[in-house]
Chains A and B, each alone.
Chain A
Amino acid sequence: MSTVYADPMRPGREMKSGPGRRSSPLSWRWTDRLALAFAWIAGIGLCLIAAAIVIYMGVRGVQYLRPSLLGSRPEVSLTQSGTGGFLDPILGTMILTAIGLVLATPLAVASALWVAEYGRPTWLARVVESSIEVVAGTPDIVIALFGLALFQLHLLAPFSSVSEGGGVYGRSFLAAGAMMSLIALPPIFTATRDGLEAVPAHMREAAYALGKTRIATIRRVLLPSVRSNMATGVTLGVSRIIGDTAIVVLLLGQTLRIETEGSNPVLGLLKGTGSTLTSYVYDNSPAGEGAAPQKAYAAAVVLLLLVLGLNLIVGRIGRSQADSMGMNIGAGIV
């Protein structure tokens, strides 16, 4: 180890790189060179794996995804070609997303408003924030089991079907949608709260100076200015709902088609059972019963396209935000 390298930590050693010139990596300490090499290897490796996954799914999509699949309903069949398309799973995904958002958005926005704008007593605000963190950290399978326990209560029997023996089935679009709202809650809450905290104080003060009450300020000043944050949160919530499998498998009844319950079309749909794209992928993989890998690939590609679209929306909202500095790439992963 007698090579001379630039080392500012040891005075007396000559610095090789003069002023204004970049030092060449060859003159660095070997640990730094190793770190540099590993960073390049890991980075390029990650890029390659990412490219491989995207290209592989793209190829599978071109191979197996047909427009007719999107418009036809699933059938029970022994051959892969006879199993129909996945119209019902797509509708199921949409219905669940709608239910989840309708329940989650008001809850999340109201509590974000309370935490950011009122938040008295402070300990209670901390409790609310911590419980949302707990929800964010809870595995979806646990939320699904909680939902099953909740909706199998006799009190909540109207939300699903009741079997002959009097047992409550506990599985329905409403049950799954309610649990989906728990999954969508944390991103909407976090985005709204962070947006509210970023609103400069002088905007509130100006409203108060004009004689507005706090709630009027919230409605006329704050909510309009955090609209894009809310949109980001909602979009992230949607992608969480779309991507969730465990809740669907446990709480949606796992019927191939959407089966309504009772005579009322709307209520019957909400109380009925069905499937979503994620559970369709799971069921048609070798792990499920269907074993129709081509259909599973096609549905997975549709899922990927949906997620891609949502990502583009988030990116567009993020760019249009006035404070769009930095790359903001981790936005809402938590």
Chain B
Amino acid sequence: MLERLRHPWPDNRAERTLGAVALLIAVGVVAMVVFVGVHAWPIFQHNGLGWLGPAPKGTSIEEQFQTMQATSLNPPPSAYTLNAWPLVYGTLLCTIPAVLIGITVAILSSIFIVELAPARLRRIVIPVIRLLASVPSVVYGLIGILVLVPFVGNHLISPAEKVSVQNTVELTGAGVLVAIVIITVRITPIMVALICEALVSVPNSWREGAIALGVNPVRAILAVSLRAARPAIVAAAVLATARALGEAIMISMVSGSRSFAPRFSDGITALFEPFRTLASTIVDYHEGLAAPALGSALYAFALLLLFSALVLSVSGYLIKLPLRKYQVRG
């Protein structure tokens, strides 16, 4: 047997074997979509796409989860009622600000690191950024829940604010603000690493050419380097958004884990109100996966996440197409 392996393979057999292995991955991805889709199907069957909508007055999604969990192995159709808008809203509420803040800070600080910082600082900062980009998200979650949540709860939220919403929700500190901060801290190093790499690979002569034409260095960076790095910036934003959407454990730790939709009518207090995202709900309720209705709901959330990841990567590809003219990499 070993002797046969040691002999050189005929080329076509090698090609077929390697190709089969590669196809296995494609089959696996299809299987993933099918499996998640099949398990999510009952929710679509009973609610259509209506499960994405807001709950009717007087019911909350938490009660719906309890109904789902309480039913036996053969739940009545009524147990499948789901109105998950608070979760979708919560996901958007923490993802969009975090990505917007993160991308701005990432672009500016990449410029700083690559073009402005003294070489000695750069040699320290780059490994640290790389480290922060690969720190497990649960560590950020730990810092969030042990440091930021108590700080916000004790110092930023005034007793008056706690009283003002005490009839609907209890403010502990875990909520929108901490979640946005933690997600931003989580995704910014990833974006900085990608954008820095693109900025570094812009040929020096391009920028020098601009400076030789009389433009000041900052304008040269903005107009030449940054323009050349645009595909990498898009790629970084797409990747960061995907990470932020799919971040489950970390958000479940710092979001207060209540399926509450923070209300802007509460003014600044809305920043401290707890919420849930689609991904963190899966973590919070994973012990109820055995209940068919609840399990199906969680798989429906997973399907939505999978779908948004697909949409993100396709739209990133489409945005990058016209930008490729001056691209350096990415």
Question: Taking beta carbons and an 8 Å cutoff, which residues of A are in contact with B?
Answer: 6, 8, 15, 22-23, 25, 27-29, 32-33, 35-36, 38-47, 49-51, 53-54, 56-57, 106-107, 110-111, 113-115, 118, 120, 124-125, 127-128, 131-135, 137-143, 145-146, 148-150, 167, 182, 185, 213-216, 218, 239, 242-246, 249-250, 278, 281-282, 285-287, 293, 296-297, 300, 303-304, 307-308, 310-311, 315, 326-331, 333-334
Contact = CB atoms under 8 A, between A and B. Distances in A.
A contact patch SS: helix
Contact of B125 (A47, A56, A239, A297): A47
Contacts of A29: 216, 219
B249 A245 contact: yes
27 contacts: A8-B213, A28-B219, A29-B219, A39-B109, A39-B112, A42-B108, A46-B129, A50-B132, A54-B132, A111-B21, A111-B24, A113-B18, A128-B23, A134-B313, A135-B28, A139-B309, A142-B309, A149-B39, A214-B11, A243-B136, A249-B286, A287-B141, A297-B146, A307-B131, A315-B127, A329-B197, A331-B197
Contacts of A46: 105, 109, 112, 125, 129, 188, 192
A150 B31 CA distance: 9
Nearest to A242: B136
Given A120-B15, A141-B279, 19 more contacts: A54-B128, A106-B21, A118-B15, A134-B29, A142-B32, A142-B306, A145-B39, A150-B35, A213-B11, A282-B141, A285-B253, A300-B138, A307-B134, A308-B131, A326-B200, A327-B196, A327-B197, A328-B197, A334-B235
Contacts of B310: 134, 137
A239 B134 contact: yes
A54 B113 contact: no
Contact of A333 (B14, B29, B133): B133
Interface string B1-43: 0000000111100110111011111101111100110110000
B contact patch SS: helix
B25 A131 contact: yes
Given A47-B121, A110-B21, A246-B248, A141 B283 contact: yes
Nearest to B201: A326
Interface of B: 8-11, 14-15, 17-19, 21-26, 28-32, 35-36, 38-39, 104-105, 108-109, 111-113, 115-117, 121, 125-139, 141-143, 145-147, 185, 188-190, 192-198, 200-201, 213-219, 222, 235, 239, 242, 245-249, 252-253, 257, 279, 282-283, 286, 289-290, 298-299, 302, 305-306, 309-310, 312-313
A299 B305 CA distance: 30
